[in-house]
Amino acid sequence: MDLVFSQEDLDFQEEIRSFLTSEYPLDIKERQDNRLPFEPEDVIKWQKILAKKGWFAINWPKKNGGTDWSPTKKYILQNELAVANTPIIIPFGVNMCGPVIYTFGTDTQKRQHLPGILNSDVWWCQGYSEPGSGSDLASLQTKAKLQGDNYIVNGTKSWTTLAQHADWIFCLVRTETTNIKQEGISFLLLDMKSPGVEVKPIITIDGSHEVNTVHFDNVKVPTENLVGVEGQGWKIAKFLLRHERTGIAGIAALKRELKRLKEICANVILGEGSLLDDPSYRRKLEAAEIELKATEFTELRTLSQISSGGAPGPESSILKIKGTELQQTISELFIEMLAYYSHPFFNETELGSNEAVGPDYAGAAMPHYLNFRKVSIYGGSNEIQRNVIAKAILGL
Amino acid sequence: MDFSFNEEQTLIQRQVAQFIQRDYEWEKRQALAKSELGFSSENWKIFADLGWLGISLSEESGGFGGSALETMIIMEEFGKGLVVEPFLETIVLCAGLIDSCGNKDQKSEILKKVISGEMHLALGFVEPQSRFNLADVTTEAKKKGDGFVLNGFKSVVMNGPSANNIIISARISGKQSEEEGISLFVVDPKLEGVSLRNYPTVDGRRASEITLENVDVTSSCLLAEEGKGFKELEKAIDSATLAICAEAIGAMEVLYKTTVEYTKIRKQFGQAIGKFQVLQHRMVDMFMEYEQSKSLLYMATIKQAEKAEDSKKAISGLKYQVGKAAKFIGQQAVQLHGGMGVTDELNVGHFFKRLTTIITIFGNTDYHLKRYSQL
């Protein structure tokens, strides 16, 4: 056992830091540091900068344009990027659809889609959930009927993140109705510009437009856009779930936010001292810090298991639960720190000017708190993750 | 021992409940929250006509001489409809304060208009550094001739944009956090030197940042005895705390019931999700938090109405419990509604937002637990 990085790791860390100093655009940095709402152009620009350096598709094999890096090296990069608060990478292309295509796709599909993902020229979104199929994803009802060289797709996907910017969507669709609901599901790639695709915004309680409903009305999809074998899409869906590495950047971002919160608290005057001198608030901060430490090391233990050849198993459910609970706790502590100054809110109405009220860090806190209610719901709700642990780890 | 309402109180409760059901549909409420004013002047007129605005004010002020009980009944029903009209600010907080410590002229000039629905009020008691400490006042008042001159800043003044008069706490002597030396002034926002920055808040209501720059006020604007405003301010905040807790309990009742109904209808894995034990226990906990809050509400309201010695302590205990319950019930109602819970379209998210601000308003759980232990 040891907790020390090798000289090579430390050199790499230095290399990332000097890269960030010279290559991280100042205008993007300013928007990120001020916690301004997400700009798609910023993310694309930043992903392209990373790709040029060869630091974008780090989870991919080298032969497909990736890196073949060790888990430690990936961890170091993701950690440094999060500490610097660079834009969060949009996972749908590079972390989700890309691996599916190079693992299950045809050579034509690889040639058609992988370059666009690697260069961030094509924006992908994920068509999984439906109005009637959330936690019970396998009950999905969007139908794809074979008609000559095309599938005719009909149905509705919901909670589709950033579909309003997407060029393509990867979808789970039902090609056959069977007794076992996991059978008869297929994995389709669908051009969002196809006739019959309609994207409708869903506005969330923080006032933002992040998710959408996507309707398919007799959308023609060429059969060559089927990935893998017809009716075996569930296998791909499960592969993707295993591939979704939820942790890493999440932990580093949490550490950054907790540090920032502590720094702000030290300057929040309370009587003779600061908010940090308030024992009840302080106790909550420290408890979050300990929980975060534990989660970080649970993740490091998982990582070291992968480096010594093991596969990430249901343990990733622990990271999903603990990581999202911490996200919510820290966003709550921001609200508590602000007290009354968490209340001014400009997202709901267009009344008056949008100039911030109170300290400059106040404006983003409430929208974040509200928005983060989603994290214990999405990606397999935390109730479902606990079911996974009960069944797969505890054998209950 | 009797926890039932008398005939008159039952009548008021029915009247308010009927108004919420019949005239306060969800779409209407949403339209009001998004309008320029933030509430409906017509509704306010109705409240006046039905006598709700003067119900808890003393008879000598032109009210009906009710108590904290009547306020509780109205506020709990308002909580169920997520009413945006500023009853809490104008009536409970400010009219109550003037009723308690105003002089004859102030009562007859201000409260008459308030009760008839022609005047709105707000209370500026928060400053950027004060958090929940009512005595932490840096806004200063200096004697000038017969009157006073005010300088300072008040933050997040609820109902500030609509108020025809704003009550301001200002320091006339003493150190920053001393209870002695605080005076209350009734300030017309149209006076020279008063400037308001108005904005919406996350619960769909309105508030203001208020700057006072060499504002000349006459001695007739002084409320309560000079330098002795703290006790009155604290009393008014306590009454309003009780009222906002009643509102929260109304909102919590809607949330836990809505959640139970939803889990009976929403099906996953071939059955209603309410059949899953883990969700059943969660909802039982929501229900129990609601019941415990309601018990403390009754206890504290009775003590307040009887002017019991320990009513302050009872109110802090109540606000602590309500803060805890509001957070749990609000968050779990969203969680159990899944994706739907975080949409702007569904009412659940808006109940959650109001409960979130109520947790902070007049002091959060940490503050009230500490106050409870010190009283």
- The answer to whether B168 and B213 have CB atoms below 8 angstroms apart is no
Residue numbers in B near A129 (CB within 8 A): 339
> Closest residue of A to B130, CA-based?
A270
Residue to test with chain A: of B131, B159, B263, most A Cβ within 10 A: B131
pLDDT of residue B3: 87
CA distances from B369 to A337, A342, B226, B321, B363 (A): 17, 21, 31, 9, 10
CATH 3.40.630.30 corresponds to the domain B122-228:
no
Catalytic residue numbers of A read: 244
> So what's the architecture of A123-232 in CATH?
Beta Barrel (2.40)
Class of domain A245-393: mainly alpha
> Closest residue of B to A283, CA-based?
B366
The answer to whether residue B347 neighbours chain A at the CB level (below 8 Å) is no
CA distances from A229 to A144, A149, A236, B65, B99 (A): 14, 15, 10, 78, 78
Torsion-angle region of B5 (φ positive above 0: left; ψ -120 to 50: alpha; else: beta): beta
Q: Is the pLDDT of residue A351 over 60?
A: no
Mean pLDDT of B278-286: 98
Is there a contact between A348 and B366 if contact means CB atoms under 8 Å apart? Answer: no
In which band, very low, low, confident or very high, does the pLDDT at B251 lie, cut at 50, 70 and 90?
very high
Name the residue among B209, B269, B338 with its Cβ closest to that of A377: B338
Torsion-angle region of A79 (φ positive above 0: left; ψ -120 to 50: alpha; else: beta): alpha
- The answer to whether B120 and B47 have CB atoms below 8 angstroms apart is no
The answer to whether residue B324 neighbours chain A at the CB level (below 8 Å) is no
H helices of A64-214, in order, are 71-83, 91, 98-104, 107-118
Is there a contact between A370 and B349 if contact means CB atoms under 8 Å apart? Answer: yes
Name the residue among A205, A341, A357 with its Cβ closest to that of B344: A205
Residue numbers in B near A349 (CB within 8 A): 33-34, 200
Q: How far is B21 from chain A (nearest CA, A)?
A: 24
Beta pairing class for A168-174 and A124-127: parallel
In chain A, pLDDT over 70 holds for what percent of residues?
Answer: 94
Is there a contact between A349 and B132 if contact means CB atoms under 8 Å apart? Answer: no
Is there a contact between B335 and A373 if contact means CB atoms under 8 Å apart? Answer: yes
pLDDT of residue A316: 84
pLDDT of residue A349: 47
Residue numbers in A near B278 (CB within 8 A): 383, 386
Is there a contact between B345 and A139 if contact means CB atoms under 8 Å apart? Answer: no
pLDDT of residue A245: 55
Q: Is the pLDDT of residue A334 over 50?
A: yes
ipTM value for the complex? 0.96
Count Cβ neighbours within 10 Å for each residue of B299-336 and write b for 16 or more, e otherwise: bbbbbbbeeeeebbbbbbbbbbbbbbbbbbbbbbbbbb
- Closest alpha carbon to A183 in A139, A151, A241: A139
Each as own residue / partner, the long-range contacts of residues A19-24 (CB below 8 Å, 24 or more positions apart, any chain) are: A19/A53, A20/A80, A20/A81, A20/A84, A20/A86, A23/A49, A23/A53, A24/A49, A24/A84, A24/A86
> Closest residue of A to B363, CA-based?
A339
Residue-by-residue DSSP string for A341-391: GG-B--SS---S-----SSTTSTTHHHHHHHGGGGGTSSS-HHHHHHHIII
Residue numbers in A near B366 (CB within 8 A): 278, 280-281, 336
Size of interface A-B (CB pairs under 8 A): 138
> Closest residue of B to A208, CA-based?
B344
Name the residue among B131, B200, B357 with its Cβ closest to that of A351: B200
Mean pLDDT of all residues in chain A?
A: 92
Q: What is the pLDDT of residues A125-168, one digit of tens each?
A: 999 999 999 999 999 999 999 999 999 999 999 999 999 999 99
Is there a contact between A339 and B364 if contact means CB atoms under 8 Å apart? Answer: yes
Is there a contact between A381 and B338 if contact means CB atoms under 8 Å apart? Answer: yes
- The answer to whether B362 and B126 have CB atoms below 8 angstroms apart is no
Q: Is the pLDDT of residue A62 over 90?
A: yes
The answer to whether residue B310 neighbours chain A at the CB level (below 8 Å) is no
pLDDT of residue A304: 76
The answer to whether residue B265 neighbours chain A at the CB level (below 8 Å) is no
Number of Cβ within 10 Å of residue B251's Cβ equals: 27
- Ranges A132-136, A313-317, B38-42, most confident: B38-42
Domain borders along chain B are 7-120, 122-228, 231-374
Is there a contact between B34 and A134 if contact means CB atoms under 8 Å apart? Answer: no
Q: Is the pLDDT of residue A244 over 90?
A: no
Mean pLDDT of B64-81: 96
Report helix angle A249-266 to A316-338, nearest 10.
20
Is there a contact between A211 and B339 if contact means CB atoms under 8 Å apart? Answer: yes
Query: Fold for domain B231-374?
Result: Butyryl-CoA Dehydrogenase, subunit A; domain 3 (1.20.140)
CA distances from A240 to A96, A98, A139, B301 (A): 6, 10, 18, 56
CATH superfamily of B7-120: Acyl-CoA dehydrogenase/oxidase, N-terminal domain (1.10.540.10)
In chain B, pLDDT over 70 holds for what percent of residues?
Answer: 100
Q: How far is A159 from chain B (nearest CA, A)?
A: 7
Is there a contact between A339 and B132 if contact means CB atoms under 8 Å apart? Answer: yes
* Cα angle: A176, vertex A179, A183; to 5 degrees: 50
Q: Is the pLDDT of residue A247 over 90?
A: no
The answer to whether residue B320 neighbours chain A at the CB level (below 8 Å) is no
Name the residue among B34, B136, B342 with its Cβ closest to that of A373: B342
Domain borders along chain A are 7-89, 123-232, 245-393
Q: What is the pLDDT of residues B171-215, one digit of tens each?
A: 999 999 999 999 999 999 999 999 999 999 999 999 999 999 999
Q: How far is A377 from chain B (nearest CA, A)?
A: 6
Q: How far is A323 from chain B (nearest CA, A)?
A: 16
pLDDT of residue A315: 80
Residue to test with chain B: of A181, A278, A348, most B Cβ within 10 A: A348
> Closest residue of B to A271, CA-based?
B177
